[in-house]
Chain A
């Protein structure tokens, strides 16, 4: 698979090797979105290869719940194979990573835990509609396991698969002398199957004469749509639509996508997108020094994650607003801890709606603890980290690894340089460092009015905070000016669209998809930047629904 990012990085790496940091920070990642649509000659659409996607932890839980109901006690997240970020996104990890031996143990243990619960009297009646006549009753086992398998595999079991799992259950029933005890082993088989733990999105040729051009079949496409829009498996309506051939054309896919985005489950899909896009997972293990920050506690990180997600979903589903306003919105959702950090009155209920003061320094994404705190040190801020976050996640600029073999020391505070900003000047004056540090730090200086945790501050070490700066030739005064630049940069919604696409397909875009991405973006922009439009356009696009066969060449180190 050709990945633009990889190619770009290779060039960059050779560059770095030659010249240290010099010239490495060049700006926008790839010109997918020319300023004038249609300026570049559109390339022929070349779909990317199909493949397996591993269920994330939350998708695993949602799938179990969809199959067995809300009553069962789910395994703890920590007891499931972790999601691994690849190229900065957990979604990209799903197309690359596999299941470790420990993960196999964990899924086994979870499988028996679940199977035992659903075979309890009072629960099992929903799954077993036949009356078993003996501990070994293959007919009743098969009747029960077929629908469970269909739900877990997101397709019908093949005759071979059904016979196999039925035999496991029947044999176990015979061994243990109880039909239901035996069925537990059948269910546990399905729950450990690669056809459950991996989404089989393989595609098949729609035209036998053109085997290199694949389309995702009805159930495959239903799965792709549902896990992107809901972070959950397809429901019966979607599978029915697929069976009726309604997902064959744009209009059918669009109609289903619109229906799904009106469903409350769509909030889960958007939540997962926001968490992945902004790397909010970092908040769970954030380190802040509580002797310095009286407001710091292990609960602050998860609360901040909730705030950022709620602000976004509120704009998407409740306000139905231009999503770019996430940079300037004064409406937020706080618990008592965050309200104390923001120095505003706490809402009556946790995560109630709060409107930040119009004359305050805090608004939008860049004023949230969820962005400010994880991109800083345990006690000190970091204009470099915050700048890198803004560049990579909001503008899709390319930020290379910091160079090796370069002395990264910054001077201690001195009477001449009391603030971190003043000390960081050293990095801007050495040519080898300046290229990247001007690029990153000047984007991060705007947030110096917020300390490492995200409280506002006006002085550091007794010296006044200076939060003015210049980004890509545009001067700004403070965090609000910086956020204003991002909000009105065309690269921001483009970057948002790019990230949404990456999360949807679980990988970086390819060159052959550039035209499709441009089309998605144009419609998103023309519709007034409504995030739900973006999600619809992604799933309707050919890039989402078509594929090429994966390479069959073995990879050798």
Chain B
């Protein structure tokens, strides 16, 4: 039975006293009964800024991804003063110039290599970095890193959130092979999902809707049906239903969270409702406005502790969007534009500026003695290094945030030896509180993290 409750969602419900049908017993015929439940603020000290008992605020993990790669010679900042072996000061130049204002909050990692067999020009890189292995049957062999992290630290209303700016159904965030978590790319829908009906601000008194309990009883019945169906199918379908089951239990947990008093977090506020639509103008998507809207919601979702893990798919691999005033699609430019590819460079600089917006927005949220960004690690990366050849060496990575003090910021680590990029993944997992001794499979396997960017 334990096998049927992956990620321990059931145990979490149990811990909260929200075992099967518990709540329902408190809801009586025809009467609206507000059921008091353990509130998260029990764990906070009086100022509401830090967990009691000296434990710090939660650490978050995120990925901000864009498609189509870079030009490493223009992306990598020139090596500044050496401050440790292979570790340098850095200046925001070239493609990373838009990070100038937040540079001290970020570290650059260059010169590592994603050690997967490069069989799929825009997916082998993400497969190696995010799932640690070659593609098998065109998909990841295992759940992606954000989901592994969410298993450990995703004990919030949303175990994780997947968002994006370019409309698409694909995301590297996967709960297993071919089990994609589609990104929400409509800001209004994202707002509704997080801050719509049922959401309460810290301190906001609300009558608990008896329908919440009834909805949980429905989900309870649906999970029973799922478990029964699992007994009648083969292993592959059982795994599919396992994922479905997990989703159902997660929704039960979400509803239970809505019945609790919301966590007392100073920075939590209801964000401004985004536009209903961001239509293309003259065939060009309103990327900047949409990115702001998505980032603002994401940041507030974390400030209100509605989630601690996100995957932001800013643009898709192989996307041919018309950025800025470019005359050709981005992917086509990466291949066809003659050197030194000024249009491609301009587009990547624009994307870096969009990441810089997210970093600034996270830095602007005060939390305890620091900021939301201080309690986060956000990996900024793409699907290959040199776009034109889809190379996997010298993989472009920037990490924002110090993960509550676990990561070193404001440095540029440049590997002289094509080190395994999995080391960075292992470092990130450990930094946000996941105890892992190794990362990756086969060639990409590592037991070493990247000490140079750890504190």
Task: Tell whether A pairs with B.
Answer: yes
- Quick one: CB contact mask for A272-295 with B, threshold 8 Å, 1 for yes? 000000000000010111111000
**Chain B residues closer than 8 Å to A13, beta-carbon distance:** 117, 119
Residues of chain B lying within 8 A (CB to CB) of residue A404: 118-121, 124, 384, 389-392
A377 in contact with B320 given A101-B247, A175-B29, A401-B121 (CB within 8 Å): yes
B16 contacts A by Cβ under 8 Å: no
- Nearest CB in chain B: distance from A547 CB, A: 11
Q: A51 contacts which of B234, B279, B384, B441 (Cβ < 8 Å)? A: B234
Q: How far is the CA of A490 from the CA of B167 in the complex (A)?
A: 39
Query: Nearest chain-A residue to B387 (Cβ)?
Result: A408
Docked CA distance A82–B27 (Å)? 36
CB 8 Å contact bits of B228-259 with A (1 = contact, 0 = none): 11001111110111011011101100100000
Tell me which residues across on chain A come within 8 A of B179, comparing CB atoms. 97-98, 100
Which of A96, A112, A403 is the one whose CB lies under 8 Å from B178?
A: A96
Is A409 a contact of B335 with CB atoms below 8 Å?
Answer: yes
Q: How far is the CB of B150 from chain A (nearest CB, A)?
A: 10
Residues of chain A contacted by B178 (CB below 8 angstroms): 84, 86, 96-97
Please judge, given known A-B contacts A78-B186, A551-B235, whether A168 and B217 are in contact too, CB under 8 Å. yes
Contact of A194 among B120, B219, B226, B388 (CB under 8 A): B226
Asked if A172 contacts B237 (CB within 8 A), the reply is no
Once the chains bind, are B217 and A171 in contact (CB under 8 Å)?
A: yes
Which residue of B has the minimal Cβ distance to A136? Answer: B29
Q: Which of B406-432 contact A (CB under 8 A)?
A: none
Bound-state Cα–Cα, A286 to B205, Å? 47
Min CB distance A51 to B, Å, is 5
CB of B215 within 8 A of CB of A377, answer no
Contacts A185-B218, A296-B283, A412-B338 given: A104-B251 contact, CB under 8 Å? yes
Q: Is A17's beta carbon under 8 Å from chain B?
A: yes
**Complex-state Cα separation, A329 to B119, whole angstroms:** 39
Q: Residues of A contacting B232 with CB < 8 Å?
A: 200, 202
Report the separation of the CA atoms of residues A36 and B280 in the bound assembly, to the nearest whole angstrom: 53
Bound complex: CA of A50 vs CA of B244, how far in Å?
A: 19
Bound: A295/B147 CA distance, A: 44
Q: Do the beta carbons of B247 and A405 come within 8 Å of each other?
A: no
**Complex-state Cα separation, A101 to B30, whole angstroms:** 31
CB contacts (< 8 Å) of A97 on chain B: these are 178-180, 240
Which B residues lie within 8 Å of A416 (CB)? none
Whether A553 contacts B119 by the Cβ 8 Å rule is no
A139 at the interface (CB under 8 A from B): no
A30 to B328, CA, bound (A): 37
Contact of B29 among A99, A164, A174, A198 (CB under 8 A): A174
Given contacts A98-B243, A101-B251, A164 and B234 within 8 Å (CB-CB):
no
Q: Which one of A6, A160, A174, A555 has the highest number of Cβ atoms from chain B below 10 Å of its Cβ?
A: A555
A51 close to B236 (CB less than 8 A)? yes
Is the CB–CB distance between A552 and B234 below 8 Å?
yes
- Tell whether, in the assembled complex, residue B390 and residue A557 are in contact, meaning their CB atoms are under 8 Å apart: no
A196 to B182, CA, bound (A): 21
Are the CB atoms of B235 and A554 closer together than 8 Å? yes
A120 at the interface (CB under 8 A from B): no
A99-B388 CB under 8 A given contacts A165-B221, A177-B30 = no
* Contacting pair B243 A99 (CB below 8 A): yes
Identify the closest chain B residue to A83 (Cβ).
B169
A window 500-521: CB within 8 A of B? none
Q: Is B30 in contact with A175, judged by CB distance below 8 angstroms?
A: yes
In the assembled complex, the Cα of A194 lies from the Cα of B244 at a distance in Å of 8
Q: Which single member of B210, B250, B322 contacts A175 (CB below 8 Å)?
A: B210
Assess whether A557 is in contact with B141, with CB atoms less than 8 Å apart. yes
A146 on the B face (CB < 8 A): no
Find residues 1-59 in chain A having any chain B CB closer than 8 Å to their own CB.
6, 13, 16-17, 49-52
A194 and B251 contacting across the interface, CB-CB below 8 Å: no
A157-208: which have CB < 8 Å to B? 160-161, 164-165, 168, 171-172, 174-177, 185, 188-189, 192-195, 197-198, 200, 202
Q: Does B327 contact A (CB under 8 A)?
A: yes
Neighbouring B residues of A378 by C-beta, 8 Å: 320, 322, 328-329, 332
B271 within 8 A of A: no
Q: Mark A71-101, 1 if CB is under 8 A from B, else 0.
A: 0000000110111101100000000111111
Is B208 part of the contact surface with A, judged by Cβ < 8 Å? no
Docked CA distance A22–B178 (Å)? 30
Interface string of B335-348 (1 = CB under 8 A from A): 11011000000000
- Which of the listed residues A52, A135, A194, A292 has the most CB atoms from chain B within 10 Å of its own CB? A194
Interface string of A96-116 (1 = CB under 8 A from B): 111111111100100010000
Cβ contacts under 8 Å, B322 to chain A: 287, 289, 378
Cβ of B236: which chain A residues have Cβ within 8 Å of it? 51, 550-551, 555
Instruction: Say whether A101 contacts B169, CB under 8 Å.
Output: no
- Asked if A459 is at the interface of the complex by the 8 Å CB criterion, the answer is no
Residues of A within 8 A of B124 (CB): 404
Contacts of A405 in B (CB 8 A): 118, 389-391
B14 at the interface (CB under 8 A from A): no
Assess whether B320 is in contact with A550, with CB atoms less than 8 Å apart: no
A102 cross-chain contacts in B, Cβ below 8 A: 162, 181-182, 184, 193
Interface residue? B370 (CB, 8 A): no
Q: Is B169 touching A82 in the complex (CB atoms < 8 A)?
A: yes
Docked-complex contact B283 and A189, CB < 8 angstroms? no
Q: Check B224 for interface membership: any CB of A closer than 8 A.
A: yes
Q: How far is the CA of A379 from the CA of B167 in the complex (A)?
A: 20
- A301–B99 Cα distance when bound, in Å, is 38
Name B225's closest neighbour in chain A (CB-CB): A193
Q: With a 10 A CB-CB cut-off, give which of B224, B241, B247, B338 has the most chain A CB atoms.
A: B247
B287 to chain A, nearest CB (A): 13
Residue B133 lies at the interface, judged by CB distance under 8 Å to chain A: yes
**A164's contact among B118, B142, B221, B248, by CB below 8 Å, is which?**
B221
- B214 touches A (CB below 8 Å): yes
Tell me if B398 counts as interface (CB < 8 A to partner A): no
Instruction: Please indicate the chain B residues that have their CB under 8 angstroms from the CB of A101 in the complex.
Output: 159, 175, 181, 246-247, 250-251
Q: Judging by beta carbons under 8 Å apart, are B388 and A407 in contact?
A: yes
The CA-CA distance from A164 to B211 in the complex, in Å, is 18
Q: Is residue A347 contacting chain B, with contact meaning CB distance below 8 A? A: no
Q: CB-CB < 8 A to A175: which residues of B?
A: 24, 27-30, 210, 213-214
Contact B181 A100 (CB under 8 A): yes
User: Judging by beta carbons under 8 Å apart, are B218 and A99 in contact?
Assistant: no
Do A410 and B336 contact each other (CB < 8 Å), given the known contacts A100-B175, A175-B27? yes
Bound Cα distance from A432 to B65, whole angstroms:
31
Contact flags (1/0) for B435-455 with A, using CB distance below 8 Å? 000000100000000000000
Q: Given the known A-B contacts A52-B240, A175-B28, A401-B121, are A287 and B329 also in contact in the complex, defined by CB atoms under 8 Å?
A: yes
A100 touches B218 (CB 8 A): no
Separation of A277 and B209 alpha carbons in the complex (Å): 47
Q: Are the C-beta atoms of B210 and A176 separated by less than 8 Å? A: yes
Does any Cβ of B come within 8 Å of A406's Cβ?
yes
- From residue B196, how far is it (CB to closest CB) to chain A in Å? 10
Is B138 on the interface with A (CB-CB < 8 A)? yes
Most buried by A among B175, B234, B390: B234
Bound Cα distance A296, B246 (Å): 44
A195 to B226, CA, bound (A): 8
Interface centre among B119, B142, B217 (most CB of A within 10 A): B119
Other A-B pairs, 14, CB within 8 Å; known A101-B250, A200-B232, A289-B327: A104-B244, A104-B250, A175-B210, A185-B215, A194-B241, A195-B225, A202-B233, A287-B322, A296-B283, A379-B328, A403-B121, A405-B389, A550-B237, A551-B234
- A residues whose Cβ falls under 8 Å from a Cβ of B: 6, 13, 16-17, 49-52, 78-79, 81-84, 86-87, 96-105, 108, 112, 135, 160-161, 164-165, 168, 171-172, 174-177, 185, 188-189, 192-195, 197-198, 200, 202, 285, 287-292, 296, 298, 377-380, 401-412, 549-555, 557
> Mind listing 25 A-B residue pairs with CB under 8 Å?
A13-B119, A16-B119, A52-B240, A81-B182, A84-B180, A105-B193, A105-B254, A108-B251, A135-B29, A164-B224, A168-B218, A172-B217, A175-B24, A175-B27, A175-B210, A185-B217, A188-B218, A189-B222, A197-B244, A202-B232, A287-B283, A377-B329, A407-B389, A410-B335, A557-B177
